[in-house]
A = this chain, B = another copy of it.
Amino acid sequence: MNRTLNIQQYIKASAASVEQELKRSIPEEWEIPDTLREAVMYSLLAGGKRLRPVLMMAAVEALGGEAETALPVACAVEMIHTYSLIHDDLPAMDNDDYRRGKLTNHKVYGEAMAILAGDALLTHAFYTAAQVSRRAEVPAERALAIIEMLSELAGPKGMVGGQVADMLGEQGLTKQEELDGIHRHKTGDLIVFSLKAGGILGGANAEQLTALERFGYKIGLAFQIQDDILDITGDEKKLGKSVNSDEKQQKVTYPYLIGLEASRRRVEKLTEEGKQAIASAGFVHPERLNDLADYLMQRDY
């Protein structure tokens, strides 16, 4: 990726290459019921930030590798993220009608199809990740390690576990540590996966993988708190969703627990700690990761 791009241009360019790859991520020649293909693509191409893929690609580059190598795995993590949103929006879960300014999957295709579209995306994520081994420079051992890590961090111990903890803890939380624990799995684990997968593909050593993991949990939590802050202070147009939804749903958030100002300070501190975690691990190009951390903190959408 061109190093003269500023961080916003960099994000845009990386997201665009992921977008292009996502569009062809289900082989055209595969015989699939039309409605299923449509329902899957409706949510997969609904204009997400592509944060996880961009972080993955930046991690590969931090090690001096080619970001494009990561595209299959970047698409896989975006599929996992997308399926989790589809299932999360279902009437039995958060019962949301809109996401990113568009009707949610079940509002367009019905509940049964939304459940199955989510299942299809989750399953297809592993097919897509496995394609990374078609690249000459990625040995089967590495592809397998990535798949194992994805299933661990997205599964019962990881993201799904976080979803369950969130659901069970709703309204009953009183401590910051409990909230941190939920965010760690619900949001953090998939961000950490993205960074570590990028690390593995870039040939990171053990110290660098640990540094990427720390960086990931720090900026993952900062990201989540920033989301909570924007739900109070943000612009509906930029966000593509209604503000004050957390308060309406009586969700326990960081601003609710410690106030808006302290939440802002925590975002800054976490971002700083994240950058420190990767500062001395010998990355050849850590700039993009640092810039991304700063950018996420300053975002208003």
Contacts and interface: CB of A to CB of B under 8 A. Distances in A.
Nearest to A169: B33
For this chain, the copies found in one complex come to 2
Interface size class of A (residues with CB under 8 A): 35 or more
Contacts of A118: 119
Contacts of A92: 110-112, 115
Contacts of A152: 127
Contacts of A139: 140
Interface string A105-149: 000001111011011101111110010010000011101100110
B122 A123 contact: yes
Interface of A: 26, 30-33, 35-37, 40, 83-84, 87, 90, 92-93, 110-113, 115-116, 118-120, 122-127, 130, 133, 139-141, 143-144, 147-148, 150-152, 154-157, 160-161, 163-165, 167-168
Given A30-B156, A122-B122, 4 more contacts: A33-B164, A33-B165, A36-B161, A123-B154
For the complex of A and B, 9 pairs with smallest distance between CB atoms: A92-B111, A127-B151, A123-B155, A140-B140, A120-B156, A126-B151, A130-B148, A30-B157, A120-B160
